Amino acid sequence: MLVLGIETSCDETAVALYDSEQGLLGHRLYSQVALHAEYGGVVPELAARDHIRKLEPLIGDLMSSTGRKLADLDGIAYTVGPGLSGALLVGASLGRSLAWGLGIPAIGIHHMEGHLLAPMLEADKPDFPFLALLVSGGHTLLADVAGVGDYTILGESLDDAVGEAFDKAAKLLGLGYPGGPAISRAAETGTPGRFDFPRPMTDRPGLDFSYSGLKTFTLTTANNHDLDDQTIADIALAFQDAATDSLVIKCRRAIRKTGHRALVVAGGVGANQSLREKLAVLADEEGARVHFPRPEFCTDNGAMIAHVGCLRLQGGEHDALDVSVRPRWSLEDLRPPGQ
């Protein structure tokens, strides 16, 4: 089964072709980062308009680069939520109507399910059940993944998402947008131990997260010092250490609580090198394995949507003819394919 996947939930226009027998055939991505950079964050209306401009040419490029024609497709999958409603509507409208025109089934996919199962695109796939740490600009959660479509949320952020905290901290330090890569670059030259930031929510039991306090701590520290390059690097390092430590501490608790031996990390913050190193140490200490998708499949991409779309279409699922999106949608509402 050959499936076209479309992702337009936020600021990346992304498409991919996934074949049930041959795996991923190709993927294409256009990032709107430069468009939003001058505003210091994603402007929803601009995002939606840019998806309109970029999506159709990107699909054309994907088809010609893989030597496939639209007529070869057996189904189309597109992200319907969670995300920005105007942006989601672009992918859902084009995907739904293209499928109608071709006379093939279409299916709306949960963006976070795409991230959760992205490590299955790699040769070294995790076995079910596994733990998943989803860390992006919009979400911070730990989930127990019993199988495809069988998710229990063990903990999540009570306020800001960790990626959002990286973005806000970077803005406070004048490091630009997106903040995650900027903070981790600055942290490379930071002085270990100059600042010690609190590890949020780690002094009490449970698996929830909180990042707004860390943001305030960063703001107060920045306000109390002259922000020369070294101080900025030192604060970036202290922030990154605190933000990643709190994730690692919760992952350790979740491994011990569930007894699961595999931990999958997904979402944009999963690209953070310091987090990757700390989780590798954790896995070693706990006798577990940590699986990362390749960096381009950690951030938003079309491959993860084509992949989940293929699993669900093969399970006999498909959507009705109307175009609808679900900007807010819990992972726990999902069911295994076909159920």
**Minimum gap (Å) between residue 315 Cβ and ligand KG4:** 25
Binding partner selected for residue 302 from Zn ion, ligand KG4, none, CB under the kind-specific 5 to 8 Å limit = none
285 token code pair:
């200490």
218 binds ligand KG4 (CB under 6 A): no
Indicate whether 79 belongs to the interface with Zn ion (CB under 5 A): no
Say if residue 74 is exposed, middle or buried (CB neighbours under 10 Å; 0-12, 13-18, 19+): middle
Considering the rule CB under 6 A, would residue 245 count as an interface residue with ligand KG4? no
CA–CA–CA angle 315, 320, 324 (5° rounding): 110
CB of 120 to ligand KG4, least distance (A): 17
Residue type for position 306:
A
By C-alpha distance, which of 51, 85, 62 is closest to 323? 85
Q: What does 272 interact with, of Zn ion, ligand KG4, none (CB < 5 to 8 A by kind)? A: ligand KG4
Question: Could you give the string, one character per residue 110-149, with x where binding to ligand KG4 holds by CB under 6 A and - elsewhere?
Answer: --------------------------xxx-----------
Q: Does 247 bind ligand KG4 (CB under 6 A)?
A: no
φ, ψ of residue 28 to 5 degrees: the values are -140, 145
If the CB atoms of residues 66 and 157 are measured against ligand KG4, the closer one turns out to be 157
Q: Which is nearer to ligand KG4, 66 or 115 (CB)?
A: 115
Gap between the Cα atoms of 121 and 15, Å rounded: 15
Binding partner at 180 among Zn ion, ligand KG4, none, C-beta below 5 to 8 Å by kind: ligand KG4
Q: Give the pairing type, strands 12-19 and 140-147.
A: unpaired
Per-residue tokens: 32: 């709107």
Question: Would residue 122 be called left, alpha or beta, if left means φ above 0 and alpha means ψ between -120 and 50 degrees?
Answer: beta
Q: How far apart are alpha carbons 71 and 179 in whole angstroms?
A: 41
CA distance 120 to 129: 13
- Of the candidate residues 7, 11, 245, 300, the single one contacting Zn ion (CB under 5 A): 300
Closer Cβ to Zn ion, 83 or 126, answer by number: 83
Structure tokens at 333: 């509402």
Give the pair of three-digit tokens for residue 56.
Answer: 């159709």
Q: Which of 272, 288, 293, 311 binds ligand KG4 (CB under 6 A)?
A: 272
Place of tokens 């779309």: 309
Q: Give residue for tokens 């991505």.
A: 29
Spatial contact of 133 and 108, defined as CB atoms under 8 Å apart: no
Contact mark string toward ligand KG4, 143..182, x via CB under 6 A: --------------------xx-xx----------xxxx-
Nearest distance from C-beta of residue 199 to ligand KG4, angstroms: 17
Check binding of 81 to ligand KG4 (CB under 6 A). Answer: no
Choose, by CB under 6 A, the member of 3, 4, 10, 283 that binds ligand KG4: 10
Find the part of the chain contacting ligand KG4 (CB under 6 A) among 16-24, 151-159, 205-213, 263-271.
263-271
State the binding partner of 269 from ligand KG4, Zn ion, none, CB within 5 to 8 A by kind.
ligand KG4
Query: What track of x and - describes contact with Zn ion for positions 108 through 147 (by CB under 5 A)?
Result: ----------------------------x-----------
How far is C-alpha 314 from the chain's CA centre?
Answer: 24
Spell out the residues 6+ positions from residue 16 whose beta carbon is closer than 8 angstroms to its own: 4, 5, 24, 25, 26, 27, 28, 62, 301, 302, 303, 305, 306, 307
| Least gap, CB of 111 to Zn ion (angstroms) | 6
Residue 246 near ligand KG4 by CB under 6 A: no
Q: Report whether 77 contacts 3 (CB < 8 A).
A: yes
Q: Which residues bind ligand KG4 (CB under 6 A)?
A: 10, 136-138, 163-164, 166-167, 178-181, 184, 267-269, 271-272, 299-300
Q: Which residues bind Zn ion (CB under 5 A)?
A: 136, 300
